[in-house]
Amino acid sequence: VFIFKILFLSVLFSVQTRTQTDSTFFLKKYSDIAKQIIAAAYKDSSAWERMAYMCDTFGPRLSGSENLENAIKWLESQMLLDGMDNVRLEQVPVPHWHRGSEYCLLLSPHKANIPMLGLGGSVATPKEGITGQVLVITDFDELEKRKSEATGKIVVFNQPFYDYAQSVQYRTYGAIKAAQAGAIACLIRSVSPIGMQNPHTGMMRYNDTVLKIPAAAITAEYSAMLERMQRRGQNPIVKLYMEAETLPDAISHNVICELKGGEKADEIIAAGGHIDSWDTGTGAQDDGAACIAIWHAIKLLKELGLKPRRTIRTVLWTNEENGVMGGKKYTEIHKYEKHVLMFEFDSGTFPPSDLRFKGHDTLMKIVQSFKPLLDMVEPMKIVDGWVGVDIRYMMDLGVPGMSIDTRDQDKYFWYHHSPADTPDKINPQDINKCVAAIAIALYLYADLPVELPWQQPIAHQGTK
Ligand SMILES: [Zn+2]
């Protein structure tokens, strides 16, 4: 704590001449550079092409899969081809969950195939599947009230989409709550603002003291239909079959390359997205395009001969979706280096709308001065807030965090974790706008003319 405070004091002193870091200063010093970055980003189609090539060629990139490792090896080869500095892969042991065959059938009052996806981490059903009457409920409160009716049934959470944070609780904790009420399986309405008979998977959890029951997502249309049937007293019967299994941990890799900085090259800005995806769709929006946008932002700076004071490192973290082992391993290996900023992009590749920042007020004030330059790409707000899953372990050590948010957040969740998350959902001009905004933000931060505090593990014992 003591050392960290001293470091912060040094920042406060060095920004005493506010004119060194206000927006007039940034505009004057960097507007030509920002224009150069934007022009170069907009005339280059390679980010979109590489995203589409990766998704089409290697397919979905679930942790533990050969697809993911093939994509990782390809990324490494492309970074070498680009002439990036310090290209390397770092080993990360990751969970290895495998979906296997699965289906969900409506047996009564009519026969139909219900589009579904088992939830990540779920156990299998017995070989003969699980057949039962359903109990459709809206939320955990209703389950609590109707607990006695749940025994021996398949509980269906028909939770409407309010926002991701609210509705995802049913995906995460539904199986635990349903099992506690005596259910034999758990179905959730897919976490998405629209249905279109498109199921959405994602991570779920068990609790070691509660029976592990199989869990899957079905479509919004079938969740609503089951509820209507129940209301009419039609007692719908459903059969669920899943072969899901958790295999021994596999080896995956974080993918790293750098743009070496100038006089403060030992100070690092680590920026990336997560290279793994779910096993459905090809992880274009989540998070392939963002990974490539970050790497291309840094590649663009290199191609323009823009060498900031500090080093900018691209890190494509593995296993964000079902374990965050890439983010944890990165912290374990690199926490002793002087990180001055962690940056993550994992919010959908649409036109950029916000630059998010989490850090000391003094730094926030500096980051707010970036606005006029970012506005040259799209009108952007500079906001305080949540910045990312993979970078949170480094941030727990005191490193500031940054991310960009994009418009069309609702649309993002149309595709998220579903078979519809494919390259056609990304507009080439949007990915270029993200490349430009990220390149500007990272360059400005990496080139700041003030002393920046950097994290030291010993300084953080007992904090946060
Ligand atoms: Zn993601």
Q: For residue 47, report the distance from its CA to the centre of ligand 1, in Å.
A: 18
Q: What is the DSSP string of 309-333?
A: SEEEEEEEBS-TTTT-HHHHHHHHH
Strands 237-242 and 130-137: antiparallel
| Spatial separation of the C-alpha atoms in residues 22 and 26, rounded to whole Å | 7
| Spatial separation of the C-alpha atoms in residues 25 and 13, rounded to whole Å | 18
Q: For residue 151, report the distance from its CA to the centre of ligand 1, in Å.
A: 35
Q: For residue 287, report the distance from its CA to the centre of ligand 1, in Å.
A: 5
Tens digit of pLDDT at every position of the chain (464 positions): 445 555 555 555 555 455 667 889 999 999 999 999 999 999 999 999 999 999 999 999 999 999 999 999 999 999 999 999 999 999 999 999 999 999 999 999 999 999 999 999 999 999 999 999 999 999 999 999 999 999 999 999 999 999 999 999 999 999 999 999 999 999 999 999 999 999 999 999 999 999 999 999 999 999 999 999 999 999 999 999 999 999 999 999 999 999 999 999 999 999 999 999 999 999 999 999 999 999 999 999 999 999 999 999 999 999 999 999 999 999 999 999 999 999 999 999 999 999 999 999 999 999 999 999 999 999 999 999 999 999 999 999 999 999 999 998 889 999 999 999 999 999 999 999 999 999 999 999 999 999 998 765 444 444 43
Helix axes 428-446, 289-303, angle to 10 degrees: 60
Q: Which residues pair with 137 in a beta bridge?
A: 157
Q: For residue 388, report the distance from its CA to the centre of ligand 1, in Å.
A: 9
Q: How many residues does the chain have?
A: 464
Just list the catalytic residues: 320
Cis peptide before 287 (omega within 30 of 0): yes
Whether the predicted model's global pTM rises above the 0.85 cut: yes
